Amino acid sequence: MSNSSELGEFLRVRRAALQPEDVGLLNYGIRRVPGLRREELAMLAGVSNTYYTRLEQGQSTNASEAVVDAIARALNLNSDERAHLFNLARPRTTKRRTLSKPDKARPGTLRLIQSMAGTPAVVLGRRSEVLAWNRIGHRLVAGHVDFNSPGNPAIRPNMTKMLFLDQHTRELYTRWREEATRAVSSLRLVAGNSTDDPELASLVGELTMNSEEFAGMWARHPVENCMSGLKYMHHPEVGDLELNFEVLTPPDDSGHRILMYAADPGSPAAEALQLLASTDARVSETEHAR
């Protein structure tokens, strides 16, 4: 994925989402295309129309921070979108591609999530691939998938791919579109930080080809750093769940995330998690006894 083309796409999508009245301009006549015109956005940002056009067309990759900041303000970007714009506009050096070892969770991270027997936890890689999960985490989000599959890169589950292409996962989320938008927004942030990632390009290509819903969401270029919130689920074993989630990021450059789920104390969801944990414990005991 080229940063210049990603930058141009992001600018075009965000410009099309703004109406003249949103930024204090008068709207004269009927517009052939939705949103602000390039010259209007350039005027609001205080740059020449020619220069802004070059940015949208991917012909300029060395915009100053002052110019990027002015464009961010003109587009009314929030903090996540602004950071994403700066990532896209930052000049990148092309590194020689080297074969990398398959990613895996750190031993300390594995010990951490395995110690939390009653708290569902999933370790994700940069592209939302599952690197590990504890027993209850697996049971909560993908009990129909082999528990050991994250250890094999060839069959490793991917949370975003399952969300769009796996019917069991789609049925798990009662607010599927909200969950899907959140996933695409997070993946867009990863794309903004990646200049040469064939695995990410392959993932986006596969999802675009096989899911019209993903293709539509991806084209709208949503951006959000989703670190906490609520997830609404209907689990096939324990029914409806309203769970808080938190994302922890290890202090290294791995891009790994630890996704943890928790229910409010005394809530029906807390009782459901306890039931899920006890059921999983009985299954594990049976497996060990064989």
User: Tokens at residue 30, please?
Assistant: 């009927």
Per-residue pLDDT of the chain (290 residues; tens, 9 = 90+): 456 788 889 999 999 888 887 777 766 666 667 788 889 899 999 999 999 998 888 777 678 899 999 999 999 999 999 999 998 888 665 555 555 677 899 999 999 999 998 899 999 999 999 999 999 999 999 999 999 999 999 999 999 999 999 999 999 999 999 999 999 999 999 888 876 788 999 999 999 999 999 999 999 999 998 899 999 999 999 999 999 999 999 888 888 999 999 999 999 999 999 999 887 655 555 554 45
Tokens 């990603």, residue?
Answer: 6
The CA-atom distances, in angstroms, between 144 and each of 29, 137, 140, 177, 270 are 56, 12, 10, 22, 22
Domains and CATH numbers, the chain: 3-89 (1.10.260.40), 107-289 (3.30.450.180)
Distance, first Cα to last Cα, the chain: 49
**Cβ neighbourhood burial of 78 (10 Å; 0-12, 13-18, 19+):** exposed
**H helical segments located in 78-158:** 79-89, 107-115, 135-142
